[in-house]
Amino acid sequence: MAVGPSAFMGVAAVLFSLGLYGVLTRKNAVMVLMSLELMTVAACLNMVTVSRFVTPAEMTGQVFAVFAMAVFAAQIGIGLALVLAVYRQTGSIELSSKKAT
């Protein structure tokens, strides 16, 4: 069985849409952050796939995945700090609770 790039892209697309679903529907701030991680990972997987199949020598996709991971780390740091700040203000991490608005 030959596994081409479209199989990897399929997995990435499923992961991305599941992440999107999570971002849209979860009310818990930490769950939203985790769904965002899922989307980031799907994007990275796509970049690495394309890099492997199209430009294996230049590895542009891998380089960009490294940058994406750095940005992701920054995002999770700031995101959790914001969650903590919100929690200090309202005593809850629900994004749509009455207190938080």
Q: What is the DSSP letter of 28?
A: B
* Site residues, another protein (CB under 8 A): 1-22, 24-25, 28, 30-31, 33-35, 37-38, 41, 44-46, 48-49, 51-54, 56-59, 62-63, 65-67, 69-78, 80-85, 87-88, 93
1 versus 101: smaller Cβ distance to another protein: 1
34 versus 100: smaller Cβ distance to another protein: 34
27 versus 101: smaller Cβ distance to another protein: 27
Q: Which of 1, 33, 7 is nearest to 19 (CA)?
A: 33
Q: Give the nearest distance from C-beta 40 to another protein in angstroms.
A: 10
Burial class of residue 81 in the structure, from the number of CB atoms within 10 Å of its CB (0-12 exposed, 13-18 middle, 19+ buried): exposed
